[in-house]
């Protein structure tokens, strides 16, 4: 059994060897939605809540939250189940087949994997030294002391081999497995549970309310079963009997003070003396798990709306959630002039818009006035107005501190519908250097799929009759000469359209159109991403790879971590960031060296990268996936050319005290840094080639060019650029 953390270290070492000295990313941070609750555990006054986006801990005594995800302990964020072993450690089953083990006493983590396949740990049950995992292919028996899988049970009675097990429950020596097609039951004392003859099966034919099983519990010497259409129990003769009072989904049971409670689609229910379910408290939609804490407080996790506790005094449910985004799907991202991140949840995330100001997350949904919960594009214009596109409800803007919302659809002929006249698709949005906002009105039934809106709000339309070769427009960018590049996608993609409107967006008489397809060297006619770098090259991402236009022809990009390119962005130092289905590839400004990031060698939350946006002031890169958002803190902030004094910290600098080097910031592009003694003697030169300068920051370890520690004193720092500009600073170095 190989520890997965060892694998991570091994792969990281390989990537670092490939990447050599490049270390532009300094720190990783993950943000995930946590509204889908899977399990609740209690440790003293702390409530551990397992969710689809990781774990959050609510400390009742401090009224405070702690978030645990893939950058702070977990090996994967999709928590399926949690349970205590006899030593008080928490076993966490994850959605990728891994098991994390956390000891709240020592705060130490360990990770194991029971199979090299990618699968789900759907549930787990612990009995003494043995852990039983419900997986996508049956049940695995794991021995804690030997740290190994003893057996895997794939054929549970008459059920097909490798039937997925959703829930597992152990009562005395009986083991119960809940699946999508019924129940399988056996006894742990049987000689061979790999033999299907030692399993019994129960389905609707045996009076189960439904074959889709969600949970079990033992109450009053009976096994109760939670199913998609109600609940039932096995009587003393083994006959299944329906419990009346709930006919919809029952997900979970708990027992408190000799009474049985059930979590269900419509709320929490109590089994009364007549053996019927009655609603307990107010309705709470789609309850997924219920637990009582040591103080007798009932906590309920829901599938969509997070964690609640029941307030007996006012008979109401109270919500407890940390500040996190509403969902995990980040289809597109942009950053406004105030550094606020605006992200959209896409066609499938269906969670509207998320915004993050560095401290607080806000969520905007249809109930808040936006056009739809499905939003697929976002762009900030020159006036800091936020533009959004939807896959059916047109476009809308949000502006001002009061978040004023304005909608644009077929009203007044602003936008056109598709084959369904009321279905208005705005797939992408661009803003050019003149402040014009460009909308891609995809599948416009009047052919006017490209729209330009001037700063004084005049709408100009470009149609298939003007030269646009397709209404299946997908992405847009603008090159250094002002030309508009439009990619196509959809059912019949036709490559690239390039519009040169010669600076007169309202006059079509001087417009020139060009077209490029695979016959011109493109890897595919389906264009997923476009970007223009600081040198003026146009970069094109497709499902088959990437190209760049050098001004005369398309050249193929080689070396990507994965050929399916979803997005491309360029940082101030002209590094190109490619988001792919297999992670991120960063192409150095020399267009030769590559650096790659995925879940194995970084804090990336998911390998399928959908969107990337850069905060040029801070150098923070925001990376959107379908499983959350990752922030990568980089050295590639845009230099402030107005500052002639270098940013130097810490100052004074005490080498070895914190283990961190001296940081020299606010460097211009293509700088070198020289360090002099107070008498003017050159001590050290920091360059990219020496591996001590990355982007807008350089790092000094307090040693001279020969590797010898320099003595205490004042040192002068001078940054030079190729065009002769100079910035200066000084630092007091202290030897202890």
For 401-419, write each residue's pLDDT tens digit.
999 999 999 999 999 999 9
- The encoded tokens of residue 410 equal 């077929």
Block residue for tokens 């003026």: 536
pLDDT at 6 over 90: no
pLDDT at 261: 98
pLDDT at 639 over 70: no
pLDDT at 141: 96
β-strand 267-271 against 259-264: which pairing, if any? antiparallel
Mean pLDDT within 98-107:
95
What three-state secondary structure class fits 364?
A: strand
pLDDT at 483: 96
Q: What's the pLDDT tens digit per position in 443-460?
A: 999 999 999 999 999 999
Q: How far is CA 295 from CA 37, 42, 315, in A?
A: 21, 11, 17
Q: What's the pLDDT tens digit per position in 500-547?
A: 999 999 999 999 999 999 999 999 999 999 999 988 999 999 999 999
pLDDT at 337 over 80: yes
Quote the CA–CA distance of 295 and 314 in Å, as a whole number. Answer: 17
pLDDT at 18: 37
**11-41 burial, b for 16+ CB within 10 Å, e for fewer?**
eeeebeeebeebebbeebbbbbbbbbbbbbb
- Maximum average pLDDT range among 127-136, 643-652, 657-666: 127-136
**Average pLDDT of the chain?**
92
Quote the CA–CA distance of 190 and 197 in Å, as a whole number. Answer: 10
Cα atoms found within 13 Å of the Cα of residue 560, Cβ hemisphere only? 27
Quote the CA–CA distance of 136 and 376 in Å, as a whole number. Answer: 32
- The encoded tokens of residue 678 equal 């107070």
CB 660 within 8 A of CB 601: no
CB 718 within 8 A of CB 681: no
pLDDT at 720: 80
CB 454 within 8 A of CB 426: no
Q: What is the 3-state secondary structure (H, E, C) of 285-339?
A: CCEEEEEECCCCCEEEEECCCCEEEEECCCCEEEEECCCCCCCCCCCEEEECCCC
Mean pLDDT within 375-401:
97
Q: Tell me how crowded residue 369 is: count the other CB atoms within 10 A of its CB.
A: 14
- The encoded tokens of residue 538 equal 């146009």
**What is the secondary structure of 105-159 as a DSSP string?**
TTTEEEEEES-SS---EEEEEEETTEEEEEETTEEEEEETTTTEEEEEE---TTS
Confidence of residue 292 (pLDDT cuts 50, 70, 90): very high
Q: What's the pLDDT tens digit per position in 47-95?
A: 999 999 999 999 999 999 999 999 999 999 999 999 999 999 999 999 9
Secondary element (H or E) of residue 184: strand 183-187
**505-522 burial, b for 16+ CB within 10 Å, e for fewer?**
beeeeeeebebbeeeeeb
- The encoded tokens of residue 182 equal 């019924």
Block residue for tokens 């006249």: 421
pLDDT at 658: 66
Cα atoms found within 13 Å of the Cα of residue 465, Cβ hemisphere only? 6
Q: How many residues in the chain?
A: 736
| Positions of E strands within 345-472 | 353-356, 361-364, 377-380, 386-389, 391-392, 395-399, 404-408, 424-425, 428-431, 437-440, 450-453, 459-462
pLDDT at 3: 43
pTM to 2 decimal places: 0.86
pLDDT at 21: 42
CATH annotation of 329-408:
2.40.10
pLDDT at 476 over 60: yes
Mean pLDDT within 233-250:
94
**113-124 burial, b for 16+ CB within 10 Å, e for fewer?**
bbeeeebbbbbb
C-alpha angle 608-611-615 in degrees, rounded to nearest 5: 135
What three-state secondary structure class fits 428?
A: strand
CA diameter of the chain: 96
pLDDT at 226: 98
- CATH topology for 647-733 is Immunoglobulin-like (2.60.40)
CB 596 within 8 A of CB 18: yes
Which class for 327: exposed (0-12), middle (13-18), buried (19 or more C-beta within 10 A)?
Answer: buried
pLDDT at 726: 79
Q: Tell me how crowded residue 536 is: count the other CB atoms within 10 A of its CB.
A: 12
Q: What's the pLDDT tens digit per position in 662-701?
A: 988 878 777 789 998 887 789 999 887 777 888 788 899 9
Q: What's the pLDDT tens digit per position in 551-570?
A: 999 999 999 999 999 999 99
Task: Provide the residue ranges of all domains of the chain, joining segments of one domain with +.
Answer: 329-408, 647-733
pLDDT at 197: 97
Q: What's the pLDDT tens digit per position in 591-618?
A: 889 999 999 999 999 999 999 999 998 8
CB 4 within 8 A of CB 70: no
Quote the CA–CA distance of 231 and 264 in Å, as a whole number. Answer: 10
Confidence of residue 386 (pLDDT cuts 50, 70, 90): very high
């Amino acid at each position: 059994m190989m520890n997965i953390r060892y694998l991570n270290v091994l792969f990281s070492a390989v990537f670092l060897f490939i990447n050599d000295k490049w270390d532009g990313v300094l720190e990783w941070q993950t943000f995930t939605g946590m509204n889908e609750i899977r399990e609740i555990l209690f440790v003293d006054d702390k409530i551990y809540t397992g969710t689809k986006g990781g774990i959050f801990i609510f400390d009742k005594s401090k009224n405070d939250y702690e978030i645990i995800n893939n950058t702070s302990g977990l090996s994967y964020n999709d928590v399926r189940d949690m349970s205590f072993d006899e030593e008080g450690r928490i076993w966490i089953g994850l959605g990728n087949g891994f098991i994390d083990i956390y000891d709240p006493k020592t705060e130490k983590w360990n990770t194991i994997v029971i199979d090299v396949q990618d699968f789900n740990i759907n549930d787990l049950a612990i009995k003494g030294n043995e852990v039983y995992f419900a997986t996508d292919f049956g049940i695995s028996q794991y021995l804690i002391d030997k740290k190994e899988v003893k057996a895997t049970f794939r054929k549970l009675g008459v059920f097909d081999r490798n039937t997925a097990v959703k829930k597992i429950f152990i009562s005395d020596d009986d083991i119960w497995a809940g699946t999508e097609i019924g129940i399988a039951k056996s006894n742990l004392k049987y000689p061979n549970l790999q033999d299907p003859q030692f399993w019994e099966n129960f389905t609707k034919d045996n009076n189960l309310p439904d074959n889709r099983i969600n949970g079990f519990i033992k109450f009053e010497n009976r096994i109760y079963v939670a199913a998609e259409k109600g609940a039932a129990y096995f009587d003393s003769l083994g006959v299944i009997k329906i419990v009346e009072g709930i006919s919809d989904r029952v997900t979970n049971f708990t027992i408190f003070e000799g009474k049985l409670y059930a979590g269900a689609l419509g709320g929490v229910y109590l089994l009364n003396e007549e053996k019927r379910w009655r609603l307990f408290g107010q309705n709470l939609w789609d309850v997924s798990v219920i637990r009582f804490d040591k103080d007798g407080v009932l906590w309920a996790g829901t599938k969509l709306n997070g964690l609640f506790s029941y307030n007996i005094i006012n008979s109401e449910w109270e919500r407890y959630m940390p500040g996190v985004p509403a969902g995990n799907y980040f289809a597109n991202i942009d950053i406004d002039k105030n550094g606020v991140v605006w992200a959209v949840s896409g066609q499938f995330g269906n969670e509207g818009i998320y915004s993050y100001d560095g401290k607080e997350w806000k969520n905007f949904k249809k109930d808040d006035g936006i056009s739809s919960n499905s939003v697929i594009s976002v762009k900030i214009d020159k006036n800091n107005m936020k533009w959004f596109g939807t896959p059916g409800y047109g476009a809308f803007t949000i502006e001002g501190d009061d978040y004023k919302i304005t909608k644009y659809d077929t009203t007044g002929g602003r936008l056109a519908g598709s084959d369904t006249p009321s279905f208005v698709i705005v797939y992408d949005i661009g803003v050019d250097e003149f402040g014009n906002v460009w909308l891609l009105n995809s599948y416009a039934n009047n052919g006017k799929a490209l729209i330009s809106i001037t700063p004084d709000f005049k709408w100009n339309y470009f149609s298939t009759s003007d030269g646009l070769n397709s209404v299946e427009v997908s992405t847009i960018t603008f090159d250094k000469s002002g030309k508009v590049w439009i990619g196509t996608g959809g059912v019949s993609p036709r490559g690239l359209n390039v519009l040169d409107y010669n600076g007169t967006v309202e006059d079509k008489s001087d417009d020139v159109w060009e077209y490029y397809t695979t016959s011109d060297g493109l890897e595919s006619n389906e264009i997923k991403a476009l970007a223009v770098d600081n040198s003026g090259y146009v970069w094109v991402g497709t499902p088959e790879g990437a190209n760049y236009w050098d001004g005369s022809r398309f050249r193929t990009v080689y070396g990507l971590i994965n050929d399916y390119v979803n997005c491309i962005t360029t940082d101030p130092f002209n590094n190109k960031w490619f988001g792919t289905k297999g992670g991120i590839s960063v192409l150095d400004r020399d267009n030769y060296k590559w650096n790659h990031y995925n879940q194995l060698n970084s804090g990336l939350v998911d390998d399928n990268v959908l969107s990337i946006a850069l905060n040029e002031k801070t150098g923070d890169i925001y990376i959107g996936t379908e499983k959350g958002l990752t922030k990568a803190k980089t050295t590639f902030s845009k230099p402030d050319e107005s500052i002639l004094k270098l940013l130097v910290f810490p100052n004074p600098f005490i080498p070895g005290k914190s283990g961190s080097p001296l940081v020299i910031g606010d460097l211009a592009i293509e700088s070198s840094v020289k360090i002099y003694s107070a008498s003017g003697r050159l001590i050290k030169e920091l360059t990219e080639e020496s591996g001590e300068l990355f982007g807008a920051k350089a790092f000094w370890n307090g040693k001279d060019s020969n590797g010898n520690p320099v003595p205490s004193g004042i040192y002068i720092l001078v940054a030079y650029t190729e065009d002769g500009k100079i910035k200066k600073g000084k630092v007091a170095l202290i030897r202890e």
